[in-house]
Amino acid sequence: MINIFLKIASLELLRIFICLFLASSLSKKSWADNKLGYLEGLAQLDPKPFVVVEASGKKIKNRGQGVVVSKQGHVLSVAHVAWLETEGNYSDNFRISFRGKGNGLPKGEVHKHTTTFADREDAAFKEIYYKADLIRTQESRFLLGQDLGLFKIKAKGPFPYLEFFSEKKPQIEIGETFHLSHYNFPHRAGNPFFLINPVEVVGVAQTSSGLQYLARGHYRIGSSGGAILKDGKLIGIQSSAYTVNAKGIGEIPLGLISFHLVWHEQIKRLE
């Protein structure tokens, strides 16, 4: 009788285990499907919360990526976008540009133009520019001493924005896959392709602007300031890139990027 009972109990435990395993597998598959769908949704948003940050000097301009983090128009990017190396000083003249069709953005833009692709018949996109200020903390352009710049668009919202992954500093692990979201860099007009590419966390680096995390993957030259996503929410801002240098070819946009973790408490008091 005891043996029969044990056999029945074992079969029941096996059945429960199988059910739990199948449920877990289905859940993971469902999450993977939903995650891809969410990324597809982000890629098709118009207007997007992903922007280009432009710093102007007397003769030159610097550009980097950025992401809107509040409906009032706060934008996180890299602070070094303000440094005009050839002029040897910092810029205090900033513009934020949105790309796409331009529908649904608030009034207050200072410039708007339409660009047509040279190799795409009748395909066009708009760039809508707003003036912006760089918010200083303790008289510094660098937020909390890191390579992070917090900008405020000089127009009344609401703007499209991306939520933070965490209210407080998040914990991350080696091997996690994040997604770097950015436009390919606008060295010339008519090239607004938006990319969401995977990067894998592989280590850390001690830099002049503090500890940064390292991720391996593809990126575009000029993606500094690009938003790094976890589960579709903002967890980091790309600061630098360490490219592969191939003899006879030059730099290849495949290698390591460094990024700062970001979370809502960092900017809450500045909003």
Look at residues 178, 139, 190 and name the one whose alpha carbon lies nearest to residue 257: 178
Contacts of 58 (CB under 8 A, 6+ apart): 87
pLDDT tens per residue, the chain (271 residues)? 444 433 444 444 334 333 333 333 333 344 346 778 888 888 889 899 999 999 888 888 888 999 999 999 999 999 998 888 888 888 899 999 999 888 889 999 999 888 777 777 777 888 899 999 999 888 888 888 899 999 999 999 899 999 999 999 999 999 999 999 998 754 555 567 888 999 999 999 998 888 999 999 888 777 899 999 999 999 999 998 887 666 666 666 667 999 999 999 998 877 7
The CA distance from 180 to 208, in Å, is 22
pLDDT of residue 16: 34
Coil vs helix vs strand at 262: coil
Boundaries of every domain in the chain: 50-153, 177-268
The CA distance from 207 to 242, in Å, is 13
pLDDT of residue 21: 34
Q: If one looks up domain 177-268 in CATH, what number appears?
A: 2.40.10
Instruction: Evaluate whether the domain defined by 50-153 bears CATH number 2.40.10.10.
Output: yes
Query: DSSP letter at 147?
Result: S
The CA distance from 109 to 128, in Å, is 7
The alpha carbon dihedral of 84, 135, 130, 53 has a sign of positive
Query: DSSP letter at 170?
Result: P
* In contact, 235 and 262? CB cutoff 8 Å: yes
Q: Which two tokens stand for residue 59?
A: 């003769």
Q: Which helix (H) or strand (E) holds 129?
A: strand 124-135
Ramachandran quadrant class, 201 (left: phi over 0; alpha: psi -120 to 50; beta: rest): beta
pTM of the complete model: 0.82
Coil vs helix vs strand at 249: coil
Same fold, 50-153 and 177-268: yes
Residue 3 phi, psi (nearest 5): -60, -40
Please give the distance of CA 174 from its chain centroid, rounded to a whole number. Answer: 19
Write the CA distances from 200 to 156, 157, 219, 258, integer angstroms.
37, 35, 12, 11
pLDDT of residue 4: 43
